[in-house]
Structure 1
């Protein structure tokens, strides 16, 4: 009976991947040292990240009487992080036992939630960057648009868009029986489907959003570089560190995506095998990004802990919100100064013109 089940599982996976090279027909499972590393990363992520993000959510909902736009964005970022951490027990069981026992629906849902969290996080980070960019580039427009109602609509659209983009996990994830054990793995009908999924995921979940983020902060940096502008350095560094941390944790995962795509396109078994071998650990590393933000908040708000106690995060988030207002005020001052200088220059030209005419008449 066991042999029959294994043959059925093998037949299924081979038929589904009939157009793949031989190296892609075998699911790569984490075993030995690789599994232990994955378990360690997931355990640390869950132990730190779940209570940490829960504390962030509690702080914003209970400790902050006036929730600013920045606080709303940080709240939803923490919500995106905490929902993915709820899937950790399922993946810990998989790594410790070597098989998936929770069925097809839970398999698809766990990977869907992970993908949803990735998209929501990067889109929120992108929106934070665009918000600061607008405060510097178009301060008057920013002041009109930056309302709680507008931000709530945008955040809702972010969740909807992330939910749609993550649906690839329902299509390309499934459970097959391998060596008499069920496995929750990626399933593609052809090489083109695999190339589409990983390329789409990398472009929409990393390359395009981070290009926008980098552009926004390069513009802000150039705008403020020559000005004597004092801002709250801790909160400024905090937002930048959120961006950098997300990039560092997710970049290896996206590189592995492109390695596997390249291996299939150029028929390189070595690239494909390297990508499949690295995927479990880089996935666990990306998972850890969901627990990184609370750690950053603690370090950034260290000075507030002594004075505010458990309310230190509320003080920190209030500072982050006021910083964007400072950007806007600074940009408005620059624009007003530029306008004043232009008006004075025009008056100077108007006064100079009659003098030129009188001198010309005298010459004649």
Structure 2
């Protein structure tokens, strides 16, 4: 997945050097694409940055028992907050009428970090889905794997993998003058005039950043649904609801971007005069700007999911919501249980055996009491005879 923020730079620079460029000082009005880009950036930054910081604060300061889902949400929030810090740069890029003023190194670094964020986000969602799949289908294995040490190892692996996957991004992003001799520069995609490099970038980011992880996510949740239906029981858990919301949001904001990637690859194959290629280049700035909102939408989803806790918990409502995702709580209280789904029949048998033991004790107790009464009566008779 090549970029989230490139979307916004694309709003400025566009696919070509002259198609959508920052307005020259003599331009009387700002282009519509710039106005849309600015609106999206302002909304994303105003709601997303403080929202993600609030999520981080809630998890670190208010949540007492942090579940696997809770820790993964913390990582998502940190990644999104860091990406949204770049919004002021792009706002200046769009509204400053001076192009990219921050140099080639910043251009490459910002887009690289945004690409890292996108890879990290989708694979953190994959880890959430894997955790749910193991909890339902392999509960005892899930209990052995659900340790903080292993979880930290998995998350570290995801971040390392994201940094490695995003490495092509700095090589395919460069600063170029809007026109020869004009001191206004664009931070734009650059493929050395090679169709092979262009196809490689967009195809790799779509395969590694969407198709493969999304196929894995679908497999996990289809398996979970089938398992729950075949077992004829269902557990109400906020963890499942939260993860499904996150997956749905990621799909809504990123599917258009990857569809445009595929269209652009098809257009490059057809040739530079292809209408498909032209349509993809026209659509790219808008879909990439739209994808940028994915870094700000998750806190809004958490507010929606935790709205029932707001009156009772106040600012701690999100902590209450995240504590509700602690699916391990039932299993850590007793060594016999793992997850509710896997141990439901075991718990039923334990309850039945306990009731049987209690009933036997009552019967035995009753017999012992009857025997004691008989001995007491015999002793009373003996004493009466003696007297």
Deviation at 1:266, TM superposition (A): 1.5
Unaligned runs of 5+ in 2: 1-13, 22-29, 332-337, 349-387
Secondary structure at the aligned position of 2:187 is classed as: strand
Q: What is the rounded CA distance, in whole Å, between the counterparts of 1:324 and 1:195 in structure 2? A: 48
Contact 2:69-2:326 at 8 Å conserved across structures:
yes
Which one of 18, 22, 29 corresponds to residue 20 of structure 2? 29
- Aligned partner of 1:20 in structure 2 is none
Q: What is the rounded CA distance, in whole Å, between the counterparts of 2:318 and 2:116 in structure 1? A: 26
1:116 is the counterpart of 2:116: yes
Which one of 204, 208, 215 corresponds to residue 208 of structure 2? 204
The 5 Å alignment of 1:203-352 reads: 203-232=207-236, 234-267=238-271, 268-322=273-327, 328-333=339-344
The 5 Å alignment of 1:65-84 reads: 65-84=64-83
Q: What is the rounded CA distance, in whole Å, between the counterparts of 2:18 and 2:225 in structure 1? A: 46
- Aligned partner of 2:103 in structure 1 is 103
Contact 2:309-2:321 at 8 Å conserved across structures:
yes
Contact 1:28-1:276 at 8 Å conserved across structures:
no
33-42 or 46-55: bigger deviation = 33-42
The 5 Å alignment of 1:127-206 reads: 127-179=127-179, 180=182, 181-189=184-192, 190-206=194-210
Contact 1:27-1:185 at 8 Å conserved across structures:
no
Q: What is the rounded CA distance, in whole Å, between the counterparts of 2:18 and 2:196 in structure 1? A: 18
- Aligned partner of 1:11 in structure 2 is none
Secondary structure at the aligned position of 2:119 is classed as: helix
1:45 is the counterpart of 2:50: no
Contact 1:112-1:167 at 8 Å conserved across structures:
yes
Deviation at 1:228, TM superposition (A): 4.5
The structure whose residues are more often helix, as a share, is 1
Deviation at 1:43, TM superposition (A): 0.6
Q: TM-score normalized by structure 1? A: 0.82
Q: What is the rounded CA distance, in whole Å, between the counterparts of 1:306 and 1:185 in structure 2? A: 48
Q: What is the rounded CA distance, in whole Å, between the counterparts of 1:319 and 1:72 in structure 2? A: 13
1:137-178, Cα deviation, whole Å (9 max, x unpaired): 111000001111100010001000001111111111000111
Please, what is the CA RMSD of the aligned residues?
2.3
Distance 1:323 1:137, change over 3 A: same
Q: What is the rounded CA distance, in whole Å, between the counterparts of 1:191 and 1:324 in structure 2? A: 54
**Larger Rg over CA atoms:** 2
Unaligned runs of 5+ in 1: 1-22, 338-364
Contact 1:232-1:319 at 8 Å conserved across structures:
no
Q: What is the rounded CA distance, in whole Å, between the counterparts of 2:246 and 2:118 in structure 1? A: 14
Secondary structure at the aligned position of 2:175 is classed as: strand
- Aligned partner of 1:350 in structure 2 is none
Q: What is the rounded CA distance, in whole Å, between the counterparts of 2:104 and 2:316 in structure 1? A: 43
Deviation at 1:230, TM superposition (A): 4.3
Deviation at 1:335, TM superposition (A): 8.5
Query: How many correspondences in the alignment?
Result: 316
Q: TM-score normalized by structure 2? A: 0.77
Deviation at 1:322, TM superposition (A): 2.4
Distance 1:323 1:302, change over 3 A: farther
Contact 1:100-1:184 at 8 Å conserved across structures:
yes
1:257-290, Cα deviation, whole Å (9 max, x unpaired): 1111111011253222211111111111111011
Secondary structure at the aligned position of 2:325 is classed as: helix
